[in-house]
Structure 1
Amino acid sequence: MAMNERVAQVLNDQINAEFYSSYLYLTFADYYEDRGLKGFANWYVIQAKEEMDHALAIRRYLLDNDFKPTMEAIAKPDKVFENDLEPLEAGLEHEEYVTGLIHNCYEVANEVHDVRAMRFLDWFVSEQGEEETNARDMITNMKLFGSDPKGLYDLDREYQARVYTQMTALPL
């Protein structure tokens, strides 16, 4: 059965959104690098890699379903931060936005009864829940401990310990 054109298009658009997320998180990492917070920078470099993995997984799904993806231009992130909390807040805001995009992909797949695409998107729906929780936890931790130099140091060390794990295969 050929992939529905609307489903293919929203998934193709999602590839671009995931690449943009990767770019955005690299700018967060750069902000923290400049501040000397290498742990926070590490966290966001890993986030950037995960977003790239998401884009590549969607690309693979489209290719495996006989749809040739179209790579579009990626917008330049334009966020400027005044303090260490702002990137974290922008991260939560962005994850909530991406959750909406994923939900839209799912809704389009549901409308045309594309069960295979819905099953594929189930992983992304769960992942977005985790991403939002992590973003909220980072904000809470910064508000609780970030104003104290020792607390900020401890948070930075904690985030420095995060290790990138390549994404496992998704159900198709």
Structure 2
Amino acid sequence: MLKKSVEDALNKQLNAELYSSYLYLSMSAYFEEIPMKGFAKWLRIQAEEEKAHGMKFYDYIIEAQGTVKLTKIDAPKTSWKSPLDAFEEVYAHEQKVTGMINNLMDLAVKEKDYATQNMLQWFVKEQVEEEANASEIVAKIKMIGERIGHLFCLDHELGKRE
């Protein structure tokens, strides 16, 4: 059974993961409009991945005999200045999520909640990958600079994400 402090923190993270999904779906819609379909596809897949992360927290809370408490999800922004602006926000957001996961792990260690620590190890590893992916896209967009043809090539590459 979960301690209340851990249950509350896990519920907060569940809702943060759902917000991440909402944010990336909003970014996908932005890229659909400008139109850069490859960026849009990459972000739509990312939105689904974030929703799946939320469901991992949902399932764990239930399995650990806790109570899931869904709260209001804030509306994300709907436009960005450029693809670079959007992906710098993706990278910053993933860094923020990493901090939240680390704080959860700190709490699980403090509370001697070994089961939650074990579950969180997957997220610790996942965040390394999430930050690396976002950072790589930011770096590529920066290298491209004002060369619009190269940006369309990156759009094409991102559209190949499965």
For normalisation by structure 2, the TM-score amounts to 0.96
Match of 2:103 in 1: 104
Structure 1 Cα separation of the partners of residues 15 and 130 of structure 2 = 18
Match of 1:21 in 2: 20
Map 1:52-131 onto structure 2 (within 5 A): 52-78=51-77, 80-131=79-130
Structure 1 Cα separation of the partners of residues 157 and 145 of structure 2 = 13
Shift of 1:108: 0.6
The 10-residue stretch of structure 1 (147-156 or 108-117) with the greater mean CA deviation from structure 2: 147-156
Shift of 1:96: 0.6
Structure 1 Cα separation of the partners of residues 109 and 36 of structure 2 = 43
SS of aligned partner of 1:131: helix
The question of 1:149 aligning with 2:148 is answered yes
Map 1:36-55 onto structure 2 (within 5 A): 36-55=35-54
Shift of 1:6: 0.9
SS of aligned partner of 2:130: helix
Cα RMSD over matched residues?
1.0
Q: Which amino acid aligns with 1:117?
A: T
The count of residues paired between Structure 1 and Structure 2 equals 162
The 10-residue stretch of structure 1 (140-149 or 32-41) with the greater mean CA deviation from structure 2: 140-149
Asked if structure 1 preserves the Cα contact closer than 8 Å seen for 2:10 and 2:104, the reply is: yes
Q: Which runs of 5+ in 2 are unaligned?
A: none
Q: Which runs of 5+ in 1 are unaligned?
A: 164-172
Dislocated runs of 4+, deviation >4 Å:
none
Shift of 1:146: 5.0
Asked if structure 1 preserves the Cα contact closer than 8 Å seen for 2:13 and 2:100, the reply is: yes
Asked if structure 1 preserves the Cα contact closer than 8 Å seen for 2:27 and 2:79, the reply is: no
Q: Which amino acid aligns with 1:142?
A: I
The 10-residue stretch of structure 1 (147-156 or 54-63) with the greater mean CA deviation from structure 2: 147-156
Shift of 1:126: 0.7
Asked if structure 1 preserves the Cα contact closer than 8 Å seen for 2:24 and 2:47, the reply is: yes
Identity %: 36
